[in-house]
Chains A and B, each alone.
Chain A
Amino acid sequence: MSEIILEARHIYKQFNDPVTIAVLKDISFTINKGEFVSVVGKSGCGKSTLLYILSTMDTAYQGELLIDNEKMTGLKEKELARVRNEKIGFVFQFHYLLNEFSVLENIMLPGRKLAKKPLEEIEHRAMELLKILGIDKLAAKKATQLSGGEKQRVAIARSLINEPQIIMADEPTGNLDRKNSEIVFDIFQKLANDLNQSLLVVTHDTEFAAKTKRIIVMEDGRIVSQ
C-alpha cells in the first residue's frame, strides 16, 4: 500500500452564530500519496468548510488532523503557517495573485518564504513550472494583465513551487469557462499521473469530479460515499 498523506479523524465543526448549527459531523477519511480525490456535494453541505480545516487555516474544530503523519491539531499559528508553506499547495476559485508582483515573482513567493533553496534555483524551478503549464511567455507580466484561465494556471504553478505533499483546490474551475476548465483539469490529471502528485479538489462541477479517480460525496455535513 502507498503511504498516507492526509488523515482526518472524527472531525466535527459547528457554527455558533446566530444559533448553533453542526456543519461537519464525524468526518474521517485518508488520502494516499498520488491520489486524485474530488469532494462533491450541494452548496452548503460543508465541503468548503472541510477544506479550510484540512488546509489548517481553520483551527476551530473537534477531532484530529494529520498531514504527512504529523499531527496538526493544537499546533501554533506560526507552525501551521510553516506547514502550509512547505507541505500544502493552494488553488482557489478566485485566483488570488498579488497584483503588485509579476507572474514569476508571484510563483516564487512561497519558495522565497520557505528559503530552503537559493534564489536562482527557485527562479529556475518557477520558470520550469511555467513551461510545464504552457504559460512561460507570461513570466514578466503583471498579475493584473492576465485572463482568468491564465491566472488560474499561475496559481497552480505557485502551489507547486515548494513541491508540496498535497495540493488543495477550492472550486478551481468555478469561475472559468469550459475550455479553461478542461485545461485546468488536464493539468491536474497530468500532475497526478506523471508526478505522482496528491490532489484534493472541492468542486460542485460533477463533470469534473467524474473524471477523478476517487470521489467523496458529502451531504449535510457527512460523508455519504467515498
Chain B
Amino acid sequence: MNTKLIFNIAISMLLARWRQTLVAAIGVTFSITMFVTLLSFMTGLNKMLDALILNRTAHVRIYNEIKPNERQPLNSSPGFSDSYNFIQSVKAGNSRQSIYNSEAIMKQVKNDPRVLGLSPKITAQVFFNEGNIDITGVIYGIDIEAESRLFFFNDYIVKGNSADIKNLSNTIVLGKGLAEQLLADIGDVVQVTTSKGELFRLKVVGYFQSGIQQMDKTQSFASIATTQKLLGEPKNYITDIQVKLKDINQAPVVAKEYAKTFQADAEDIQTANSQFETGTTVRTIISYSVGITLLIVAGFGIYNILNMMIYEKMDSIAILKATGFSGRDVNWIFLVIALSIGFFGGLTGLFLGFLLSNVIDNIPFNTAALPTVKTYPINYNPVYYFIGAVFSLVTTYFAGYFPARKASKVDPVVIIRGK
C-alpha cells in the first residue's frame, strides 16, 4: 500500500473543502477543550474537598477504645465451656485511654518501610470559661512539627504563629469560631477547666481555621507537654498515634496488622471516611459522561460531513477506482481524512483545554470556609490529556468508518454510466 500517496490524496481533498473541514475540526476541538477543562476543574474541586478532610486525617489511627472486655471470666471457666453464656450489663472495666507502651510502638512504626511518618496526639475534654458561661471544647495535644509535615497543620493557621505552642509553655491555638465566642485575641489569656476540675490559664498564640465550622467552634491545639500537664498525666501518656502511609490504599491492611501486633485498636481512613470516596466517584463519573457525550456529538458532526463529502466526491472515487485504486485504498483515504480531522482538532483542543484550565486556575476564589484556597482549583493531570487525545482519535475513527466503507464500495460503473 502506498501510504504517502493516500495521505497526499486525503490531505488534498481536505484542503479543497477547507471550510467543512474546519467546522468538523472545531467540533472536535470544542469537545476536547471542554472535556479536558471539565475534568481538570471537577477533579481539582474533588481533590480540594477531599483534602479538607483527608489532609487532616491519619491513614491509620492507633488508639485504645473504652469497651467491655471480650474475654469475660465466665467463658474461661471450665464448667461453662460447653455452654453458650449470656452475660448482661457488662461494663467497660478498663478506663485507660492512653496507649500501652506508646514509646516502643512509635519506635517500631517509624521503622516500618510503608510508613511516611507518625504524629502522636492527646485528646483532652475541657471547658472554656467565659465569664459565667462554660463552653465545651477539646484541646488536642500535638507534636507541631510532625503535625505540620504530615497533616499540613500550618496551612490552617490563619493568624499567629503555631510554633509558639512548642516554644512557649502554657500556650494554645484556638479554633477561629471558638476564639470569636471567647472574644480572645492573640496574646490574650483564656481560662480552661479540665474534666478533673482543675483550672488552667493558657495564652492564645494563634487561630486555626479548618473550613469546617463545627470543628472550628470546639477544637483548639496545644503542645503535648502542655496537654499532659492539663490532664495531670506523665510524659508517656499518649492517646492516639496518627500514622501516615506512603500508599493510602494499604491502610486497611496496615491497620489490621497494627491492631494485632500492638494489642490496641487501629482504624484505617477508608473505614473512617467512606463517604468521601463515594462522592468523589460520583463526581468523576458525571464529568466523564458529560465529556464523552460532547465527543460523541462531535463524532456525529464528522460522520455527517464525511457522508456529504463522499456524495460530492463520487466522481473522484470512480476515477480513482478506474485507474487502479482498490476499495481498500479508497477506504483508507477517507479514514485518513477522518483521523486527521480528529488529530488536528484534538491537538488544538488539548492546547485550548490547557489554556482554559489555566484561566480558571487564575480566577480568584475566596471563601471563609477554605482559608488556603485563593483561586479555583485545577488538577493538571496528564491522564486527562491522554484520554482526550485517545478519545478524539477513536471517535473520529468510528465516525469515519462507515462513510469510508461506503466509499470503498462505490461501483465505478454505476457512476460512469449514470452520467
Contacts and interface: CB of A to CB of B under 8 A. Distances in A.
B327 A100 contact: no
Assign chain B's interface to a size class: 20 to 34
Contact of A57 (B12, B315, B412): B412
A77 B5 contact: no
Assign chain A's interface to a size class: 20 to 34
A113 B324 contact: yes
A78 B326 contact: yes
A170 B416 contact: yes
Contact of A82 (B12, B321, B322, B324): B324
Nearest to B15: A100
Interface of B: 2, 5, 9, 12-13, 15-16, 315-316, 318-329, 411-413, 416-417, 419
A125 interface: no
A101 B313 CA distance: 13
Contacts of A48: 417
Given A77-B326, A77-B327, A78-B326, A57 B2 contact: no
B322 A78 contact: no
A87 B326 CA distance: 15
Contacts of A93: 419
Given A78-B328, A112-B5, A115-B2, A97 B322 contact: no
A58 B419 CA distance: 17
B322 A55 contact: yes
B410 to A, nearest CB: 11
A109 B327 CA distance: 16
Nearest to B419: A94
B351 to A, nearest CB: 29
B227 to A, nearest CB: 81
Contact of B2 (A83, A101, A112, A158): A112
Contacts, number: 81
Interface of A: 48, 52, 55, 57-58, 77-78, 81-86, 90, 92-94, 96-101, 109-110, 112-115, 158, 170
B318 A96 contact: yes
A85 B324 CA distance: 4
A90 B322 contact: yes
30 contacts: A55-B322, A57-B321, A57-B411, A57-B413, A78-B326, A81-B329, A83-B324, A84-B321, A90-B322, A92-B322, A92-B416, A94-B416, A94-B419, A96-B315, A96-B319, A96-B416, A97-B319, A98-B12, A98-B316, A98-B319, A100-B16, A100-B316, A109-B5, A109-B323, A110-B323, A110-B324, A112-B2, A113-B323, A113-B329, A115-B5
B323 A100 contact: no
Given A96-B319, A97-B319, A86 B324 contact: yes
Given A94-B419, A96-B315, A113 B16 contact: no
Contacts of B320: 98, 109
Contacts of A170: 416
Nearest to B6: A113
Contacts of B322: 55, 57, 84, 90, 92, 96
A81 B13 contact: no
A103 B116 CA distance: 71
Contacts of A158: 323
A128 B2 CA distance: 24
